[in-house]
Amino acid sequence: MLMIGLGVWQLYRLQSKEALLARIAANPSLPEMTLLPHSTDQSFLLRRGRLDCAAPLSIATEGAGKSGSRFIATCANGAKIQLGTSPDPQVHPVWNGASVRGTVWQAPDHRIALVRWFEGRDTELMLVPETPLAGLAPNAPPDPGSIPNNHFAYAMQWFLFAGTALVIYAIALRKRLAGGPAQR
């Protein structure tokens, strides 16, 4: 029963995720918003945003796949801004802060999904400007296709597990009723 319940739960999550993805798809046409520091509301993804970063505390280097490295500033208020990318991770960009406009996207989060789930805290958001910091390459536009939506596959997996357990139980029960090996 537990496995069937988990499959039904994944189907419910599928409906919720599809609603979220539809909302995200409509976001580029909405008015610009002010992105608040430490925002985690994933329904803001792909929305045009504005952020004031008066004093960046640090600029971290994150992997960016084929683009090399991306440089993400953490502002004094905790907000994050992806300044641009570079094929050379040894670049040390200098930025004194400013008011920035761009697209809202997910900040890098190195926690595994299970930890995020147990903590009950979504990935923080950041602003991805279209114009990079001088000396850096432009940011790749955020890709909504990178948001996983595999709840249907998970549901089918749980239903398959339940079906397999039922078949094993039926075989064991059949052996017992047919006078199979003596039970302890």
Distances (CA, A) of 138 to 41, 81, 131, 132: 25, 13, 6, 5
Kindly state whether residues 82 and 172 are assigned to the same domain.
no
Asked if residue 55 belongs to a domain, the reply is yes
Q: Is pLDDT of 80 > 90?
A: yes
Up-side HSE of residue 183: CA atoms within 13 Å toward CB? 7
Residue type, 66: K
* pLDDT tens-place string over residues 84-132: 999 887 888 889 989 999 999 988 887 777 777 677 677 889 999 988 9
Nearest CA to 150 among 6, 40, 10?
10
Kindly state whether residues 81 and 156 are assigned to the same domain.
no
Q: At 2, phi and psi to the nearest 5?
A: -60, -45
- Average pLDDT, stretch 47-62? 90
User: Under a CB-based contact definition with an 8 Å cutoff, are residues 114 and 69 in contact?
Assistant: no
The Cα 123–Cα 7 span in angstroms is 25
Kindly state whether residues 103 and 139 are assigned to the same domain.
yes
Q: How far apart are the first and last CA of the chain?
A: 27
Kindly state whether residues 93 and 109 are assigned to the same domain.
yes
Kindly state whether residues 5 and 80 are assigned to the same domain.
no
Kindly state whether residues 174 and 99 are assigned to the same domain.
no
The Cα 21–Cα 4 span in angstroms is 26
Kindly state whether residues 112 and 83 are assigned to the same domain.
yes
> What pLDDT shows up at residue 183?
56
> What pLDDT shows up at residue 184?
56
* pLDDT tens-place string over residues 7-38: 999 898 899 888 888 888 899 999 999 998 88
What is the total count of domains within the chain? Answer: 2
Q: At 129, list the tokens.
A: 């400007």
Q: At 23, phi and psi to the nearest 5?
A: -65, -45
Asked if residue 184 belongs to a domain, the reply is no
User: What confidence category does residue 181 fall into, taking pLDDT thresholds of 50, 70 and 90?
Assistant: low
Residue type, 8: V
Q: Which residue segment(s) compose the domain that 131 sits in?
A: 31-147
Kindly state whether residues 117 and 38 are assigned to the same domain.
yes
Asked if residue 183 belongs to a domain, the reply is no
pTM, entire model: 0.73
DSSP 12: H
Asked if residue 67 belongs to a domain, the reply is yes
Q: At 80, list the tokens.
A: 């994050």
Kindly state whether residues 64 and 143 are assigned to the same domain.
yes
